[in-house]
Amino acid sequence: MNDKFFKLPLEKQQRIINAAYKVFSQNSYKKAPMSEIAEESGISKALLFHYFGNKKGLYLYLWINAMEMTRKAVREYKTLETNDFFEMLKRSLLSKCSLMRDYPHMYAFSLRAYYETDSEIKSAIQDNYSDVSKASEKIIFEKMDTSWFRQDIDLKTMYDEIFYAVDGYMLKKYRSNIIVPNEIEQEIIVLIDFWKKVYTQEG
């Protein structure tokens, strides 16, 4: 990692790492070509190696960067400063939407990176992984006030089901190959309001 990268104009830095997030989110580590990242970001391949040393260096920087920014966004949205489950959920997802505005493919990258099996990076990633989103989800589950919910449903199943749906929704968005954070934000809110109505007690 060459520190000169950080002296680049911020817009250029973002263009580069966004290209990298995109390519690495759409290919396995091994089959993601550095040349494609260079082309997508409009710089030469040589410059990419100049800044990040090698492929592994770039990948690990992306990973650490994603973790830091996710943690920061979750904190800024005060995700855990309530015990209303649906409010937590909304803050958590809106924080991810805000990240998506600057880094559209970061979310998809993180998911893929977590399940990456390539031995060259697996260890480095698992070591560094403090389970940002999953851990915060666990905390949500423990902290939330359960008295508002319908008494006849299994909360664990509800919890799983909601996160399946979020995953499935995001999967569909990424497959469409064009990410519009405003649209996602809006549709996410519709879903959350729907869940709140269905799962909480009347009155």
Partner DNA sequence: CCTTATATTAACCGATACGGTTAATATTGG
Partner DNA sequence: CCAATATTAACCGTATCGGTTAATATAAGG
- Least distance between a copy of itself and beta carbon 196 (Å): 12
Question: Minimum distance from CB of 112 to a copy of itself (Å)?
Answer: 9
Examine residue 28 and tell whether it contacts DNA (CB under 7 A): no
Q: State yes or no: residue 49 binds DNA (CB under 7 A).
A: yes
Other beta carbons within 10 angstroms of residue 19's beta carbon come to: 20
Choose, by CB under 8 A, the member of 3, 11, 46, 115 that binds a copy of itself: 115
User: Is residue 31 at the binding interface for a copy of itself, with CB under 8 A as the rule?
Assistant: yes
The residue among 46 and 178 lying less far from DNA, judged by its C-beta, is: 46
Q: Tokens 């995700």 correspond to what residue?
A: 79
Closer by beta carbon to DNA, 45 or else 196: 45
Q: Residue 145 binds which entry of DNA, a copy of itself, none, with Cβ cut-offs from 5 to 8 Å by kind?
A: none
- Give bridge partners of residue 200 from the DSSP assignment: 149
Strands of 4-155 (E only): list them: none
CB atoms within 10 A of CB 106: 22
CB of 31 to a copy of itself, least distance (A): 5
Q: Which residues of 60-91 are buried (b: 16+ CB within 10 A; e: fewer)?
A: bbbbebbbebbeebbeebebeebeebbbbbbb
Residue 35, classified by CB atoms within 10 Å of its CB into exposed (0-12), middle (13-18) or buried (19+), is exposed
Provide the 8-state DSSP code for 53. S
DSSP 8-state secondary structure symbol assigned to residue 158: H
Quick check: 43 binds DNA (CB under 7 A)? yes
Residue 49 binds which one of a copy of itself, DNA, none, with CB within 5 to 8 A depending on kind?
DNA
Which one, 16 or 144, has the nearer CB to DNA?
A: 16
Q: Other CB atoms closer than 10 Å to residue 197's CB: what's the count?
A: 10
What's the CA dihedral at 106, 41, 11, 100 to 10 degrees? -20
String marking each residue 144-173 x if it binds a copy of itself according to CB under 8 A: --------xxx--xx--xxxxxxxxx-xx-
Would you tell me which residues interact with DNA (CB under 7 A)? 4, 7-8, 32-36, 42-47, 49-50, 54-56
Would you tell me which residues interact with a copy of itself (CB under 8 A)? 26-28, 31, 115, 152-154, 157-158, 161-169, 171-172, 175, 190-191, 194-195, 197-199
